[in-house]
Amino acid sequence: MNGNEFASLDRQATGMVDPQNWMVILDGRLVLATLVLAGLATLAFILRLATGKAMPGRIGQGLLGLAALTSLGQLIDRYAYMIRIDPHYWPLSNLFESVMFVVFAILAIHLVIDRTYKAPGFGLVSAGLVTIIISLASLLPPRLRDASPLVPSLQSYWIKIHVTLMLVSYAAFALSFVAAVLYLFFHYRNQFLQPRSIGAMAARQPENHTALMDLLDELTYRLIMLGFPILAFGIITGGLWANHAWGTYWSWDPKETWALITWLVYAAYLHARMSRDWQGAKAAWFAVAGFVSVLITYLGVNYLATGLHTYGKLL
């Protein structure tokens, strides 16, 4: 695997991007560096949880910090190079770019929120998620990695606001999803262990299992509380843009409908949490459903039907 496999600025077809340019090479290297750092951080956090020693956790935290820097560096490098080719460029013009932005957003949200938790479990969630996302993204066919020229309706400063907000909310929801899945894992494991005997339960489980679940529950909740207003803002700026471009702020296009569905599912999560018998696992299932809806909105809709966002096969 060499850095060039990650050189996603491959616009040779249109002859606009020079693959030999140092900035293009750097772009690929920075993607690779982010992947390696996140992968190493994942290992460090696994080590931290397995051994109970504090050092690997600190190393993992440091590696994630570095990964956030390389990820930011990659976005800036790409922007600095592309803006000379296309003065309206924004580094979210295709699926690969948007995924790399989500990676940066995940790392940034992690670093901000983890200041209050400093929990290796959360470190593992973020590092593992980033590793998986970049690995999958590097498998994308070149077609989805090339930046393509923007159709008329996309040529607007609104793209910068709308798409950026949507992706930041997806990042928060991705983290909340992993936290919710871990919560459910512990929940069902405990449920599975319970009927045996209290002795077995005490012997088998780490003594702080409920505390860990409380932490995961709070993480899920906080991340959704963060993503929820950003998603609302994102959907609404999309409406404002649509009104500006087409004279309609809402047209039930599949992508906007799915964004609304996502918002509704998270609204259901927030309400379910208020009701005593729907707290815990039931609410966590809503968080999982919410992220499934995010994935459909982000990736799935473009294969469902035609609509205003069909150019979004790249977004």
Give least dist CB 31 to other proteins, A.
Answer: 27
Q: Following DSSP, what letter does each residue of 17-85 receive, concatenated?
A: S-TTSHHHHHHHHHHHHHHHHHHHHHHHHHHHHHH--HHHHHHHHHHHHHHHHHHHHHHHHHHHHHHHH
| Among 191, 194, 220, residue whose Cα is nearest residue 121 | 220
CA 250 to chain CA centroid, Å, is: 26
Distance CA 255, CA 18 (A): 34
Q: What are phi and psi of 310, to 5 degrees?
A: -65, -30
H-helix or E-strand spanning residue 104: helix 95-117
Which of 152/199 has CB closer to other proteins?
A: 152
Tokens of 87: 């003065």
**Amino acid residing at 114:** D
- CB of 159 vs other proteins, minimal distance in Å: 10
Please report how close the Cβ of residue 74 comes to other proteins at its closest, in angstroms. Answer: 26
Through-space distance between the first and last CA atoms of the chain, rounded to whole angstroms: 26
Q: Is the dihedral of CA 76, 78, 83, 84 positive or negative?
A: positive
Which of 36, 158 has the CB closer to other proteins?
158
User: Smallest distance, Å, CB 80 to other proteins?
Assistant: 23
For CA atoms 105, 305, 259, 248, give the dihedral sign.
Answer: positive
Report, in Å, the least distance between residue 269 CB and other proteins. Answer: 9
Q: Rounded to an integer, what distance in angstroms lies between the CA atom of residue 202 and that of residue 206?
A: 8
Q: Which is nearer to other proteins, 145 or 255 (CB)?
A: 255
CB nearer to other proteins: pick between 136 and 304: 304
Residue closer to other proteins (CB basis): 101 or 221: 221
Residues 228, 263: contact at Cβ < 8 Å? yes
Residues 264, 196: Cα–Cα separation, whole Å: 39
Interface contacts to other proteins, rule CB under 8 A: 14, 116-121, 149, 151-153, 155-156, 158, 207-208, 210-212, 214-215, 218, 221-222, 225-226, 228-229, 232-233, 236, 239-240, 243-249, 252, 254, 257-258, 260-261, 264-265, 267-268, 271-272, 274-278, 293, 301, 304-306
In the complex, least distance from residue 119 CB atom to other proteins, rounded to whole angstroms? 6
Find the shortest distance in angstroms from Cβ 13 to other proteins. 9
Instruction: Specify the residue, 136 or 240, whose C-beta has the smaller distance to other proteins.
Output: 240
Tokens of 70: 């390389």
3-state helix, strand, coil in the chain (%, to 5): 80, 0, 20
Closest approach of other proteins to the CB of residue 17, in Å: 14
Residue 188 or 250 having the CB closest to other proteins: 250
> Nearer to other proteins by C-beta: 151 or 203?
151
